[in-house]
Amino acid sequence: MQKLIRSLVQKNRSKIVLVVLDGLGGLPVNGKTELETAATPNMDSLAQTSACGLHTPVAPGITPGSGPGHLSLFGYDPLEFQIGRGILEALGLGLEIRRTDVAVRCNYATVRNGLIIDRRAGRIPTDQSRKLTERLQKAITRIDDAEITFAPGMEHRFAVIMRFPEDLAKDAAQIPDTDPQLEGKAPLNPQALSQSAERVAKIAGRVIAQVHEILKNEERANFALMRGFSGMPDIPTFEQAYGLNALAIASYPMYRGLATLVGMHAPALEGSVEDEIAFLKDQYDNYDFFFLHVKKVDSYGEDGNFAEKSKRIEEFDALLPRIIALNPDVLAITGDHSTPALVKGHSWHPVPVLLKSPYVLGGLCSSFSERACFRGEFGIFPTIQLMSFMLANALRLKKFGA
Amino acid sequence: MQKLIRSLVQKNRSKIVLVVLDGLGGLPVNGKTELETAATPNMDSLAQTSACGLHTPVAPGITPGSGPGHLSLFGYDPLEFQIGRGILEALGLGLEIRRTDVAVRCNYATVRNGLIIDRRAGRIPTDQSRKLTERLQKAITRIDDAEITFAPGMEHRFAVIMRFPEDLAKDAAQIPDTDPQLEGKAPLNPQALSQSAERVAKIAGRVIAQVHEILKNEERANFALMRGFSGMPDIPTFEQAYGLNALAIASYPMYRGLATLVGMHAPALEGSVEDEIAFLKDQYDNYDFFFLHVKKVDSYGEDGNFAEKSKRIEEFDALLPRIIALNPDVLAITGDHSTPALVKGHSWHPVPVLLKSPYVLGGLCSSFSERACFRGEFGIFPTIQLMSFMLANALRLKKFGA
């Protein structure tokens, strides 16, 4: 499908804005969902003149992670383009990843006499863990020709990136985890399952040895277990796939990281949704496509906090007129997956979407909600088609055949 | 899918009528679409007791050409069966195409000292161009064992068919265009990219040479550039695929041509929709399946003439009782794609369809329109499935499995 799209892409001066309210979709508590409960006069009014529907990020019944959820929104088949856990972890910790990087999720562990006593080093507090990781970074910056970067995480977690002068990343997934998953066993050595992964495995082994040497006198965190060896997926950029010069506006590093995977420009940004929208306005002339990410809707869904999730949706709605004022050719508002407070986590439910452009029927939905969107002109559709709809409505696709 | 259908086909005496209002789907202007604006009491009444829905000819967001749009309606995957530009051009000019034919789109061009001065020979008027083409046809009818046919087109355009005694057509697409796309350059020789295309390329080269010899004293149109070398797609006929003896009723040659691609009988016919329906009635006993094509709906959509497009839909509706009076077992009314006056061209929007048979639920739509059809029992579905629905409702498909 993306190949077909690619063969039909044409450039023009249109602007496309995709707003992702993370985890938007919900389920009723006392009869109404979070979105139905929120007072959203601006989205309701948009929905009346927009194309509406619900989209399924991976497949019916499948609960998507944030990676697959966003890849789908960006038009990439999440089953074809799988993002390694190491890469996701590193992106989540705010690291910039390049095509020649191999990323690994690490745990501090306790090892005595060659055997693992505690796979999580007693879940040492984050501030202690951070100090250890900074110590490692000071001591280890390069092994042979590989640059080594350490990134502190929560509690016993951290990430390591090995940056090679050339692209060894595509075989990184050929190295199994060094965590045997059982205490009382010895940690495994990084083992290359393919010849081309041998150099990566060797460097990883030396990282582990040096970490152990530096931390050997620590009571608990004296060892590093590695999981999720991975390189960047080989994925076409937005420019290659759609001819779009794209900007990601997200205050959480993970989502900027996901956007950089597909070649979006994703400058560091900390601040509120208001700040994000101000940045959109500021950069509006410089890009064709804008991905604006609103995190907190999901966070409160994960906490099971129905009222706060609903309130965050309301807050976005109140700011929406500032986006509408930019008058984008195509404006889509949706989520990357559902996170019903009732479920306290991501869920498999399809996600409501509205798409505003001059080329829609409209008139089918009286408000923006899960239940209203079932009456919309998009019906229920795979999320990866949303990109096609946005491009079509921006008149960026030529006719197929004569 | 078509393979599955083929394995289940059974013959009976049922009659299926497929009416294609070309470019039927539209978009609202002042709140209503062309179809919603038209007074269509007969289609509205049918819709109330029919299965309704909307179909997507190629893929969501993709705007189909007439070729892919019709192939989909006929149940053929338009991504699998792609029709070459030369074939489409020749069909559009009303030429009959056989399996061993190679068709090429040609431009008259001006060539001086071996270089192209004007790729379109100054867009010479159609009547002058026609005379030249007739002169060529008189002089050139055969080269070696290939019959050569010239067909005049608009302005500088014409088409050439090379008919071989055996099937060389499948490699014809292996010959690149001879038009270098730039003035000041020399025209290219037809060049075979595969060994099996060599004979076709050689004959094409001799056509070009003979044309130049005949026209060498012309001021402007003294050369022929060739583009879109193509043969008939290797496509099963309606009889092979569905066991249907099919008749195409269309006053525009292009649509008769598309129908002949899938083995329909498609006699020449000039006249109004009224004449087409009279012909349907006349031939009703002789075929199982009837494809009746109404062109003008699309034409006015392409012109951006909302009122006239709407009026053509009304005119068809007024004639519809004559088709209903034949009492076909299955009657489907739809378009091959949408052509909203707002877009002034084909568009990606799904196309409304109604299917009348004794075996539908009905009762879901109060009228025939884009918006009403979203509530219908077919929902939104790929166009190639319409053929399955028609066959099923004609009781022409056996049970799958025991």
Task: Name which of A146-150, A308-312, B80-84, B321-325 the model is least confident about.
Answer: B80-84
Task: Name which of A355-359, B153-157, B353-357, B378-382 the model is least confident about.
Answer: B153-157
Summarised one tens digit per residue, pLDDT across range B358-370 is 999 999 999 999 9
Closest CA to B346 of B27, B52, B7: B27
For the cut 80, the answer to whether the pLDDT of residue A58 exceeds it is: yes
Q: Please, which pLDDT band fits residue B98 given cuts at 50, 70 and 90?
A: confident
- The DSSP result for B201-250, as a single string, is HHHHHHHHHHHHHHHTT-SS--EEEEEEEEE------HHHHH---EEEE-
Write down the pLDDT at residue A43.
98
Write down the pLDDT at residue A315.
98
Write down the pLDDT at residue B170.
74
Write down the pLDDT at residue B22.
97
Q: Please, which pLDDT band fits residue B27 given cuts at 50, 70 and 90?
A: very high
Write down the pLDDT at residue B82.
87
Closest CA to A330 of A258, A387, A245, A371: A387
CB contact under 8 Å between A398 and B59, yes or no, is no
CB contact under 8 Å between A361 and B380, yes or no, is no
Are A81 and A71 within 8 A, CB to CB? yes
Write out chain B residues lying below 8 Å of A392, CB-based: 61-63, 347-348
Cβ-based interface (< 8 Å): residues of B facing A: 27-28, 31, 33, 58-68, 78-79, 82-83, 85, 88, 340, 342-343, 345-350, 370-371, 374, 379-380
Report the alpha-carbon distance of residue A180 to residue A188 in Å, rounded: 7
How far separated are the first and last CA of chain B, in Å rounded?
19
Are B354 and B46 within 8 A, CB to CB? yes
For the cut 80, the answer to whether the pLDDT of residue A170 exceeds it is: no
Q: Please, which pLDDT band fits residue B233 given cuts at 50, 70 and 90?
A: confident
Q: What is the mean pLDDT of residues A166-187?
A: 88
Q: Please, which pLDDT band fits residue A336 given cuts at 50, 70 and 90?
A: very high
CB contact under 8 Å between B65 and A399, yes or no, is yes
- Per the model's pLDDT, the better-predicted residue between A255 and A167 turns out to be A255
Write down the pLDDT at residue B402.
84
CB contact under 8 Å between A401 and B67, yes or no, is yes
CB contact under 8 Å between B63 and A1, yes or no, is no
What residue of B is the nearest CA neighbor of A6? B62
Task: Name which of A298-307, A327-336, B230-239 the model is least confident about.
Answer: B230-239
Q: Please, which pLDDT band fits residue A85 given cuts at 50, 70 and 90?
A: confident
For the cut 80, the answer to whether the pLDDT of residue B44 exceeds it is: yes
Nearest to B82 among A360, A364, A401 (CB): A401
Report the alpha-carbon distance of residue A106 to residue A121 in Å, rounded: 12
Report the alpha-carbon distance of residue B342 to residue B340 in Å, rounded: 5
Summarised one tens digit per residue, pLDDT across range A193-225 is 988 899 999 999 999 999 999 999 999 999 999
Q: Please, which pLDDT band fits residue A84 given cuts at 50, 70 and 90?
A: confident
Write down the pLDDT at residue B169.
75
Are B11 and B287 within 8 A, CB to CB? no
What residue of A is the nearest CA neighbor of B36? A361
pTM of the full predicted structure? 0.90
Write down the pLDDT at residue A206.
97
Nearest to A397 among B62, B68, B83 (CB): B62
For the cut 90, the answer to whether the pLDDT of residue A1 exceeds it is: no
Report the alpha-carbon distance of residue A116 to residue B312 in Å, rounded: 80
Report helix, strand or coil for A54.
strand
Are B381 and B55 within 8 A, CB to CB? yes
B335-351 as b/e: b if 16+ CB within 10 A: bbbbbbbbbebbbbbbb
- Token pair for residue B196? 């099996």
Nearest to A401 among B64, B345, B379 (CB): B64
Write down the pLDDT at residue A270.
84
Distance (Å) from the alpha carbon of A387 to chain B's nearest alpha carbon: 9
Other Cβ atoms closer than 10 A to A114: 8
- Token pair for residue A19? 């707003």
Q: What is the mean pLDDT of residues B311-324?
A: 98
For the cut 90, the answer to whether the pLDDT of residue A97 exceeds it is: no
What residue of B is the nearest CA neighbor of A376? B374
- State the count of interchain CB pairs (< 8 A) between A and B: 87
CB contact under 8 Å between B63 and A392, yes or no, is yes
Write down the pLDDT at residue B21.
98
Q: What is the mean pLDDT of residues A186-190?
A: 96
Write down the pLDDT at residue A96.
82
Distance (Å) from the alpha carbon of B28 to chain A's nearest alpha carbon: 6
For the cut 90, the answer to whether the pLDDT of residue B57 exceeds it is: yes
Percent of chain B with pLDDT over 70: 100
Write down the pLDDT at residue B92.
81
Count, residues in chain A? 402
Q: Please, which pLDDT band fits residue A168 given cuts at 50, 70 and 90?
A: confident
Distance (Å) from the alpha carbon of A281 to chain B's nearest alpha carbon: 28
ipTM over 0.95: no
Summarised one tens digit per residue, pLDDT across range A256-269 is 989 989 999 999 88
For the cut 90, the answer to whether the pLDDT of residue A308 exceeds it is: yes
Nearest to B60 among A385, A399, A401 (CB): A385
